[in-house]
Amino acid sequence: MWQRICHVLRRFSHLDWTGRGIGFLYIPALFYFLCRHLVSNPISILLRVNIGESFRGLEEDKHAIYGMLDSKYVPHTLRFSAGCSEKEVLDLIGKNKLSYPLIFKPNIGLRGLGVQKILSREDIGPYLASIRGDILVQAYIDFPMEIAVFYYRYPHQARGRILSLYSRKPLFVRGDGVSTVRDLLLRDPYKYRFLSRVREYNAGLLDEIPPASGTDYVVLPMGNHSYGAQIQDLRKRITPRLEKVIGDLSRPIRGFHVGRFDIKCRSLSELEEGKAFKVLELNGVCSEQGHIYEPGYGYFRAMKDLIKQLRITSAIAQELKNTSILPPSREQKKRLLRHALNFLIP
């Protein structure tokens, strides 16, 4: 009987759980977190870890966060208010001498929603019509490697640690000069599930025929697993030198203790030297350890990693509890809870 149970658990742990919805992983882990911290108010714990208003909860102000980083590590970024006209956008792009392609994205966004690579001025009008809220226009960074670094630091420590390191390669196909993007996606047992994502992003892409060049033809530019990005766990390449670079990068940010840097770099070895990289985004306490989405990564391993992250978050919040930091307001708690539910149950 016990052997049969172990066999079932082993099979379950190797299921491809990533296509079953984010709640399949997060709801059990958060249930554990809620039960463990029921008395100490779990919502307050998540809001207390990073002090700045821009980092509290899921509604993070990307433009404000860019302003906290050293400008030499951030792509040239413009902010436009909700309802801005196409002419306003074009005029400011011209005034700042930005060249295409450009990255357009919401100032407050989640999991790659609304991110689009704009190839020419003709694409701007349709994008503005599809987005509500403030938007950012960002210079496209052409470095070949995109990585994410989940970093944390206890308040009593001068240096922090890297908890997760992984690379992200946007959804791509390799053409044969005959097949359409749709055909190429349908042939892949993993990539076919992102057909609807491609259709939402740009339905015309599905009928394009990539050349038989042997090179990658990028279908979706977002480096997010929910948009088909290929994830590779790089935690074996974490070094003290890399932790120092990320620590130095985060030091100017007052009250920052937990978060994930999304970075484009020429190579990981150059990033270790603090060279040839740009920070695409910095997300706070609600960001993920994306290495768990590497193909074949077991469900129970992912759950264990997520619970470890929640324990670290709790320990940091406990240290900060007895400081002079203002506690989160009731409105902030309501906002986090509302967005967490939308995140888990779209």
Please give the pLDDT value at position 4. 54
- Tokens linked to 241: 């030198």
- List the domain range (segments joined by +) for residue 195: 172-220
Residues 121 and 265 both lie in one domain: no
Domain membership of residue 203 (yes or no) is yes
Domain membership of residue 106 (yes or no) is yes
End-to-end CA distance of the chain: 39
Cα dist from 177 to 187, 218, 341, whole Å? 15, 15, 44
Residue indicated by tokens 């609807």: 196
Please give the pLDDT value at position 287. 83
Domain membership of residue 107 (yes or no) is yes
Number of domains in the chain: 3
Q: Which of these, 160, 166, 316, 313, lies nearest to 246 by C-alpha position?
A: 160
218 vs 230: CA distance, rounded Å: 12
Q: Cβ neighbours of residue 326 under 8 Å, at least 6 residues apart? A: none
Please give the pLDDT value at position 284. 83
Give the CATH number of the domain where residue 271 resides.
3.30.470
Domain membership of residue 322 (yes or no) is yes
Residues 43 and 186 both lie in one domain: no
Give the CATH number of the domain where residue 92 resides.
3.30.1490.20
Answer for the pair 255, 54: CB distance below 8 angstroms, yes or no.
Answer: no
Q: From first to last of the 346 residues of the chain, give the pLDDT tens digit.
A: 555 554 444 544 445 556 555 666 766 766 666 666 554 555 555 666 665 545 555 567 888 889 889 999 999 999 999 889 999 999 999 999 999 999 999 988 766 678 889 999 999 999 998 888 899 999 999 999 999 999 999 988 889 999 999 999 999 999 888 999 999 999 988 888 899 889 988 888 899 999 887 788 889 888 888 888 899 999 999 999 999 999 999 988 888 889 999 999 999 999 999 999 999 999 887 788 999 999 888 888 988 998 899 889 888 888 877 654 555 555 555 555 555 545 444 4
Residues 317 and 279 both lie in one domain: yes
The verdict on whether omega for the bond into residue 101 sits within 30 degrees of 0, i.e. cis, is yes
SS3 163: strand
Residues 239 and 318 both lie in one domain: yes
Answer for the pair 254, 52: CB distance below 8 angstroms, yes or no.
Answer: yes
- Cα torsion 7, 9, 11, 14 to 10°: value is -140
Please give the pLDDT value at position 139. 95
228 vs 191: CA distance, rounded Å: 7
Please give the pLDDT value at position 227. 85
Cα dist from 174 to 122, 143, 193, 213, 229, whole Å? 27, 20, 17, 8, 15
Residue indicated by tokens 């359409």: 180
272 exposure class (CB count in 10 Å sphere: 0-12, 13-18, 19+): middle
Please give the pLDDT value at position 9. 45
Please give the pLDDT value at position 45. 58
Residues 113 and 248 both lie in one domain: no
Answer for the pair 311, 154: CB distance below 8 angstroms, yes or no.
Answer: no
